Structure 1
């Protein structure tokens, strides 16, 4: 009897978890698209739940935006850990940075609402900056240790470059431009030992036994 009662309690909890995840996934898609259709009603329709269900999980617009934001940061952090075992450390770094373009697209659809709650926005920025720089740092360190990329760039440098590439474009199709610039950026970090050997090798020593001009000055 007690076991039957426990099962009845657990089932709606599992449904609630699934509904919450469906809402968050739908919100990511809707906010990434942006525009006038990025409403909470559109999120509920996309998730296949009623607007009441959405509000039970996220009583305010800001609460939903914050949950989506944190979920994206956590997923990027998890992805960095998964890529730690990838065979090519440079391609692992590239793949992680490309995943960030999706995160920025979602964030662009929420930035105005997040700014409405200044303290929450500041805390979220600090939270995301810490998690993302740690993720980049681990991927960078692995690529540097493998001798694949230059060692004079920090995780903060990479993150700021990524933000710049994404936020300097607001027109339709900006993601394509950002991804192209990202590839150029990552390729620019690569070390090319063969090229360095041919362009920066030691200069040959001058033979001091030979005269410096065609004319020899007579002695005396």
Structure 2
């Protein structure tokens, strides 16, 4: 997890070194706990995993929603950075599919990605949709469309809907690796330009 800024104390005052270390431990533990058990996990479990008193957790994050919001903020920043790297350095025709597959694979191992995607337009912290991730996906989609790899009528909201559905399915259905691969291939074929032509049996 990326270390948080040093000015997360109330009033914007810099955190002491020990307080900053505690905050990092709490966020790291919380991400693991919520990834395993979802947002219904207790702050007591987070404190135990972090090895701190429950009061220490509440000093940094007065409510569980504050803690969840901090986790989601960190996660979407990391995902947006991953998408940006693919946008800058990846093959425009395949970068979106690579990122899509990466998120589905993460969802197979953790609830956190699913919970983040499910909060689109209904986030814990104020500010509307998860703009960083949505904008990163939009850039990948536009580049793929400009490369002629994805149908031009597809919008980023549809990509997010498909991504959310796939991640939810992976988590709730415990999809095998083979099922994930075959399902993603069906989704990607529906997004590709001339996918019907590509899949026409040859004589």
Which TM-score applies when normalising by structure 1?
0.63
The corresponding residue for 2:162 is 161
1:69 lines up with 2:75 in the alignment: no
Judge which range, 31-40 or 47-56, deviates more.
31-40
CA distance in 2, matches of 1:110, 1:134: 15
Residues in 1 aligned to 2:48 and 2:116: alpha-carbon distance in whole angstroms: 18
How many positions carry a matched residue from both structures?
A: 180
| Structure 1 Cα separation of the partners of residues 145 and 41 of structure 2 | 41
- The Cα shift of 1:151 comes to 1.8
Structure 1: 5+ residue runs without aligned partners?
1-9, 200-220
Q: Among 9, 12, 26, which residue is 1:23 paired with?
A: 26
SS state of the match for residue 85, structure 1? helix
Verify: 1:49 aligned to 2:55, yes or no: no
For residues 166-216 of structure 1, the C-alpha deviation after alignment (integer angstroms, 9 at most, x for no partner) is: 3356636258688443343124323359x47x99xxxxxxxxxxxxxxxxx
Task: Pick closer, same or farther for the CA change 1:122–1:17 going to 2, 3 Å.
Answer: closer
1:202-213 correspondence runs (5 A) = none
Distance 1:82 1:174 in 2: 28
Q: Deviations over 1:109-166 (max 9, x none)?
A: 699xx9xxxx964836x231x3332111100111122222222211111011222223
Task: Identify if the C-alpha distance between structure 1 residues 133 and 12 changes in structure 2 by more than 3 Å, giving closer, same or farther.
Answer: closer
Q: Distance in 2 between matches of 1:15 and 1:131?
A: 31
Q: Deviations over 1:51-104 (max 9, x none)?
A: 232222111112111211222222222222122223323442133224444478
* Structure 2 alignment gaps of length 5 or more: 1-12
> Counterparts of 1:138-217 in structure 2 under 5 Å?
138-168=139-169, 171=172, 173=174, 179-180=180-181, 181-191=183-193, 195=197
Which residue pairs with 2:129 in the alignment? 127
Change in CA separation of 1:44 and 1:98 when aligned onto 2, cut-off 3 Å: farther
- TM-score, with structure 2 as normaliser: 0.68
Q: Where does residue 209 of structure 1 map in the other structure?
A: none
SS in 1 for 2:96: helix
8 Å CA contact retained: 1:80, 1:136 = yes
Q: Does 1:105 align with 2:105?
A: no
- Distance change in 2, residues 1:134/1:36 (3 Å): closer
